[in-house]
Amino acid sequence: MSVLLRSVGIAAPVALAAATAVLWHHAPPRPAVQARIVEAVPAIPHQYLALVQMTEQADPAAEGDGMDGAKAREENARLGFSGGTIASAKPFRALATAGEDHDRALQCLTQAVYYEAAREPESGQRAVAQVVLNRVRHPAFAKTVCGVVYQRFDASVCQFSFVCDGSLARHPLPDLLSRAKRIAADALAGRVEKEVGTATHYHADYVFPRWAPHLAKLAQLGAHIFYRWPGGWGLPGAFTGRYAGGEHIPAFDPSRFATVAEPAIDYPPVAALPERRASNDVGGRMDPTKGWKLSIPDPSTSGGALNDMLARQQTAAQQPAKSLALAADDHLSQKVQP
């Protein structure tokens, strides 16, 4: 009995599967569906909306109500660093070591390191690369390396100033560019700059942007001061973004930065210029309409000051010979003394 039940239990599903297969083959074909998985953009917490907008639309170099560099450095020094241990970012290993995406990401990151920090210490350059990769993994920014670097590149205020101020038109120095490329390659291979942790922002110490007091100040490396988002949004747990791939480098349009032609200055004619001389000055401008001609004697044929100068030079050239002769006479006179 148990064997019979076991046989029936096995045969029933097999029969059902066979019947289903028959019905499937006789059913009308269904249209193919091509699925595409699109990563949803994480919502920015409402308490950070105003701060994100402030940092995106503010140009640090243009802020500060005309504050000069010395005053900005004073304000930066007055703003204290965030207390506690700086949480380190995770290594970035989302890209393979070869391929089109890797090559473009390397180019964009190299540009950021070079144009933002070419003459900074190596730790400062690695910190700039770390900020870019931190942004790739944070919900507030694009999910590609080039997308982060070129964010708002076609606006008047961009996230990295070199992409919208014409700096890309400058030919890079080979040695500095080579170092920047090495640092960018290290970062894409997983090297972490622990001194700046999860920093997503920085600025030069000669400016004081209005968003600086609202972020957590982490460190200063060289001339750059680094910050993270305040609260939990700036800690490692908030960096949940996934690298999207599909790196794209926007075309550089040098015509955007063509130098505006300076207006021609229409000077008034000489006759219209006011007289600027004393009332007892008998000189004045030469008036060729009265037959006056400018006559300057040739210095080679003129006397006076030129001859005096040549005579002084000749006299000075003879002085060393006279001095040597006097010294020799003095030496001889000392020898003949009893």
Q: Is 287 exposed, middle or buried (0-12, 13-18, 19+ CB in 10 A)?
A: exposed
Total Cβ atoms within 10 A of residue 282: 6
Binning pLDDT at 50, 70 and 90, where does residue 248 land? very high
Q: Per mean pLDDT, which range of 40-49, 56-65, 102-111 is the poorest?
A: 56-65
SS3 call for 94: coil
Q: Per mean pLDDT, which range of 139-148, 195-204, 296-305, 328-337 is the poorest?
A: 328-337
| CB-based contact 105:247 (threshold 8 Å) | yes
The predicted pLDDT at position 156 comes to 72
| CB-based contact 111:162 (threshold 8 Å) | yes
Model confidence at 1: pLDDT above 50: no
| CB-based contact 190:92 (threshold 8 Å) | yes
φ and ψ at residue 201, rounded to 5 degrees: -140, 155
Of the ranges 59-68, 70-79, 322-331, the best mean pLDDT one? 70-79
Centroid of chain to Cα 240: 26
The predicted pLDDT at position 193 comes to 97
| CB-based contact 163:150 (threshold 8 Å) | yes
Percent of the chain predicted with pLDDT > 90: 46
Q: Which amino acid is at 131?
A: V
Q: Which amino acid is at 13?
A: P
Model confidence at 325: pLDDT above 90: no
SS3 call for 75: helix
The predicted pLDDT at position 25 comes to 44
46-249, which class in CATH?
mainly alpha
Count of residues for the chain?
Answer: 338
CA distance 253 to 255: 5
The predicted pLDDT at position 30 comes to 42
